[in-house]
Amino acid sequence: MGTQYKVSNSVLELVLGDIILQETDAIVNAANSQLAPGGGVSGAIHRGAGPQLWDECKALGVCSTSEAKITKGYNLFADYVIHTVGPVYAGRVSDPENLKNSYQNSLDLASKKNLKSISFPSISTGVFGYPVKEASYIALKAIIDWIKQHPGIELVRMVLHSEEDYSMYKSALDNMMSD
C-alpha cells in the first residue's frame, strides 16, 4: 500500500510498512534523549542495525527535543540513521513547534550529507503519546514546507506501521494537496 505526491522536484510518499526495511539513504529514528535502544521504533532500529549503533550513539551524547544527530546504519538497508527526539505530548503550546522541528532538523541533516532519500516514522505518536491525527498534519506540513524551500532530496517517505495511521496520514495529505 502506498501513495505518492509530487512536491516541487521531490516525491512525498506514504507507505504502510516497517521502517527498518526501507532502502532509502537514511531512516529516521524516533529516539529518546539518550539515543538508547528502547521500545517501538527505536528498539526495532537498534535491533536491526546491531550493537555498533548503540556504541556510536553513546559517543554522541544527549540529544535534546527536536534536535537531530546522524549515525551509520550498520546492518540496516539504509546507510544512515538520523536520530531525532520528538516531544513527549502534553498539550503544550510548544509541542507542535517541537514536532515540526524534529522533521525539519532531520531533513536539514540529510541535506547536509547530500542524501537523496529519507524515510520517517510517525514521530512521537507511539510511547510519547502525540495524537496521530494532529501529528500527521504537523509532520506533512513540515515536510512539504521544507521540500519547497530546499531542493535536493528526491524522495521523502513516511512509513506508517498500522493501517489506521496510514489512513490518517493519507486523509491529511489528501486534504493538504487539494487546498
pLDDT tens digits for range 130-161 = 999 999 999 999 999 999 999 899 999 999 99
Per-residue pLDDT band at 1 (split at 50, 70, 90)? low
Q: Give the global pTM.
A: 0.96
Average confidence score pLDDT of the chain: 95
Cβ neighbours of residue 121 closer than 8 Å, sequence gap 6 or more: 19, 28, 29, 30, 41, 158, 159, 160, 161
- Average pLDDT (48-57) is 96
Q: What SS3 class is residue 160?
A: strand
Give the structural domain span for 101: 2-178
Domains identified in the chain, total number: 1
CATH of the domain at 59: 3.40.220.10
**Between the CA of residue 32 and those of 4, 8, 87, 128, what are the distances in Å?**
30, 32, 10, 9
14 residue type, one letter: L
Enter the C-alpha cell of residue 74: 550498520
Q: Mark residue 3 as left, alpha or beta (left: phi above 0; alpha: psi -120 to 50; beta: remaining).
A: beta
If we measure between CA atoms, which residue out of 130, 132, 71, 133 comes closest to residue 106?
A: 71
